[in-house]
Chains A and B, each alone.
Chain A
Amino acid sequence: MLELFGTSVNLAPIWLTLEVAAITTVVLLLLGTPLAWWMAKMRSSNKVLLEALVALPLVLPPTVLGFYLLIVFNPTGPVTEFLRFFGFEGQLTFSKTGLVIGSVFYSLPFAVQPLMHAFEAIPQRLLDAAATMRAGFLDRFFTIVVPLSQRGFLVSATLAFAHTVGEFGVVLMVGGNIPGQTRMVSIDIFDHVESLEYDQAHILSAMMLIFSLCVLMLVYGLNRRFGVKVG
């Protein structure tokens, strides 16, 4: 609890939001990088289907995505049952895990698309040249691809993080709204407004606004220092 301008504000939803967003970003970079690479190098017509699948969360109402995730990951659903077989306890929905799973799906296009475009922009002959200089696949990836896609990684991480911070529908569906456990800041603000607690809503909203602005300025500042044009 924080006392601000005579109003007490519960900061737990903010911390939870940042935590979920950070974990989601890491997961997305780990999963999104190979996926984006695979898609960037894909020549067959399957690429269209895959691109469309990855882009789905952009057009789908978050509630639809949330609904399907709820069905697939519910405590008696196939995925949970499968994990239980390996000794998994707990559940995938209405928990922090659920929030992360939902966020990963929801923010997938924001992480994958910038990476895919960055990878596509790297001339194949640079990788060929590295191969003729005895660099194996991972060696080439970390010495040529990663340094040349810095900006793609930066944009990808920023968008994934920012988009997760800003989500509402999916976390409500998959995470529920359990105070202290799955109540993220966007939902918290909604609740405050619903119960006419405008002071709390004001403070939380302003904090989010300032925080988001700072993060974006930091990112674009770094981007400039790398000498790459923002745009």
Chain B
Amino acid sequence: MILGNLRLQLGHFQLDSGEFALPLQGVTVLFGRSGSGKSTLLRAISGLDKQTEGQLRVNGEVWQNGKHSLPTPERHIGFVFQDAALFPHMSVKQNLQYGLKRLPKAERMAAEADFNAIVMRVGIADKLDRGVNFLSGGERQRVAIARALLMRPQLLCMDEPLSALDWRSKSELLHLIEEVVAEYRIPMLYITHAPAEVERLADRVVFMKDGRIDTIETLQEALARPDSPLFDDQGAVSVLQGQPLPSEEGLHPIRLGADTLWLSEGMDTQREQVRARILARDVSISLSEPQDLSIINHLQCTILELLPSGEQRLLVRLQMQDGQKLFAEVTRRSAERLQLTAGRTVHALIKAVALTE
């Protein structure tokens, strides 16, 4: 567990997190607009700012007590900075070994044994002897991620690692981070202001606002309220988790309990879980099981509640047979005509599904 309550004054900006508790497990995303204090909180948790005050305990170890703080080198964390922060006077290999050399002997041996595997996994095996100034943005972040993983951290911090990249590298790197999360199972604190990254990576979300922690919710909870900060101008979004199955007839199924969701894009079927993203406005409701329809995906659901969304529209929160929640957006007029009420069994027609990315 991470238990804390941290304060930090930087110029006119004031971080005052309030009490918080985070499980040291999975991916916790710090989400908020720029200036909301996400980076400041992460720096305070990492001990990178000496003026930090308050309390912080990680796995029972005291990291901050009043003005006294455990120095960063003793916190055993890994940190990936927005712009990689590679040491420009060293080669890729020297960058990777910088931290390694400073580990205690037993850990160093283990990390050295992992060296090749990590370097391969991250995809920089052919770049070890390069100077870091000759790497592309995506390659730099790969080195930074490898450098952090090699420290065998008990907590991995990433401060908007994708924000400086073009969309292609962004998508590749997000994929890599996902794999790293699944493979190494290091608890991670991840900062972003991109809802797509949250949907794809988060187990839980810390919403930050004006230097305070607003709420801490699981991804499902965060996506369950119609006013979720994760929704952009496309409106409400549902993220469904399922198990990928081998493709059939050019389509790519995902198993969600007893139901199957068909996707047009391919995915890595080796993965245990994939996440699919469905916009509420791409979901319609039918009272009977539709037979003569071009839409492939229709799932039986139960209506949980109806939430107003603007003047003329309603958000219908549905529960699927495996318990996952799905939003559908309908007009008030249709809701009245179909007599939609909580508890009713309906069929959700899903016009478009995308893998999260």
Q: Which residues of A contact B (CB under 8 A)?
A: 123, 125-126, 128-136, 139, 143-144, 147-148
A123 contacts B85, C-beta separation under 8 Å? yes
**Which of chain B's residues has its CB closest to A140's CB?**
B73
Contact B102 A128 (CB under 8 A): no
Told that A126-B85, A130-B98 touch, could you supply 11 new A-B pairs with CB distance under 8 A?
A: A123-B85, A128-B46, A128-B72, A128-B79, A128-B85, A132-B99, A132-B151, A133-B98, A133-B102, A133-B151, A135-B98
Query: Measured between C-beta atoms, what is the minimum distance from B322 to chain A in Å?
Result: 40
**B73 contacts A131, C-beta separation under 8 Å:** yes
Candidate in A123, A128, A143 with the most chain B CB atoms within 10 angstroms:
A128
Cα-based distance from A107 to B48 in the complex (angstroms): 35
CB-nearest residue of chain A to B79: A132
Complexed CA–CA distance, A123 and B73 (Å):
18
How far, in Å, is A147 (CB) from chain B's closest CB?
5
Contact across chains for B72 and A132 when beta carbons are under 8 A apart: yes
A133 to B79 Cα, complex, angstroms: 8
- Whole-angstrom distance between the Cβ of B12 and the nearest chain A Cβ: 13
Q: What residues on A are CB-neighbors of B85 within 8 Å?
A: 123, 125-126, 128-129
B99 touches A134 (CB 8 A): yes
Least CB distance from B278 to A in Å reads 38
Q: Which residues of A contact B151 (CB under 8 A)?
A: 132-134
26 contacts between A and B (CB under 8 A): A123-B85, A125-B85, A126-B87, A126-B88, A128-B48, A128-B72, A128-B81, A129-B85, A130-B87, A131-B47, A131-B48, A131-B72, A131-B73, A132-B72, A132-B73, A132-B78, A132-B99, A132-B151, A132-B157, A133-B73, A134-B73, A134-B99, A135-B98, A136-B71, A136-B73, A143-B98
Tell me which residues across on chain A come within 8 A of B81, comparing CB atoms.
125, 128-129
Q: Which of A123, A133, A143, A144: most chain B Cβ within 10 A?
A: A133
Distance (whole angstroms) from the CB of B63 to the closest CB of chain A = 13
Given A128-B48, A132-B78, A133-B102, A148:B73 Cβ within 8 A: no
Residues of B within 8 A of A132 (CB): 46, 48, 72-73, 75, 77-79, 99, 148, 151, 157
Within the complex, the shortest CB–CB distance from A142 to chain B, in Å, comes to: 12
Among B71, B73, B98, B102, the most chain A Cβ lie within 10 Å of the Cβ of B73
Q: How large is the interface on B (under 10, 10 to 19, 20 to 34, 35 or more residues)?
A: 20 to 34
Q: How far is the CA of A126 from the CA of B98 in the complex (A)?
A: 12
Report the minimal beta-carbon distance from A123 to chain B, rounded to whole angstroms: 7
**A125-B83, A128-B48 known; A133-B99 Cβ under 8 A:** yes
Residues of A within 8 A of B304 (CB): none
Q: How far is the CA of A11 from the CA of B75 in the complex (A)?
A: 60
Q: Is B89's CB under 8 angstroms from A147's CB?
A: yes
- Chain A min CB distance to B54 (Å): 20
**Closest CB-CB distance, B49 to chain A, in whole Å?**
9
Q: How far is the CA of A132 from the CA of B79 in the complex (A)?
A: 6
Q: Does B147 contact A (CB under 8 A)?
A: yes
Give complex CA distance A147, B91 in Å.
14
B87 x A144 contact (CB < 8 A): yes
The CA-CA distance from A144 to B43 in the complex, in Å, is: 20
The CA-CA distance from A144 to B94 in the complex, in Å, is 12
Closest approach, in angstroms, between the C-beta of B219 and any C-beta of chain A? 27
Q: Provide the residues of chain A in CB contact with B147, threshold 8 Å.
A: 133
Nearest residue, chain A, Cβ from B159: A125
Instruction: With CB as the reference atom, state the residue of chain A lying closest to B77.
Output: A132
If A129-B85, A147-B89, A148-B88 touch, whether A135 touches B102 (CB-CB below 8 Å) is yes
| Inter-chain contacts of A130 with B (CB < 8 A) | 87, 98
Cβ proximity bits B17-55 to A, threshold 8 Å, 1 near / 0 not: 000000000000000000000000001001110000000
- Also in contact, A129 and B79, with CB within 8 A (given A134-B73, A134-B103, A134-B151): yes
Q: Which of B47, B75, B79, B157 has the most CB of A within 10 A?
A: B79
Q: Which residues of A contact B102 (CB under 8 A)?
A: 133-135, 139
Please report the C-alpha to C-alpha distance between residue A130 and residue B86 in the assembled complex, in whole angstroms: 9
Q: Which residues of B contact A133 (CB under 8 A)?
A: 73, 98-99, 102, 147, 151
B147-180: CB near A (< 8 Å → 1, else 0) gives 1100100000100000000000000000000000
Most chain A Cβ neighbours within 10 Å, of B47, B74, B75, B81:
B81
Closest partner residue, chain B, to A128 (CB atom): B48
Shortest CB distance A210–B (Å):
35
Give the distance in Å from the alpha carbon of A132 to the alpha carbon of B78 in the complex.
6
Contact between B89 and A148, CB atoms less than 8 A apart: yes
A125 cross-chain contacts in B, Cβ below 8 A = 81, 83, 85
Which residues of B sit under 8 angstroms from A147, Cβ to Cβ? 89
CB proximity of A49 to chain B, nearest CB, Å: 20
A128 vs B77: C-alpha distance when bound (angstroms): 12
Q: Which residues of B contact A123 (CB under 8 A)?
A: 85
Instruction: Output the least CB separation between B36 and chain A (Å).
Output: 20
| CB-based nearest B residue for A143 | B98
Collect the chain B residues with CB atoms within 8 Å of residue A135's CB: 73, 98-99, 102
Which chain B residue has the least Cβ–Cβ distance from A139? B102
CA distance A100 to B73 in the complex (A): 40
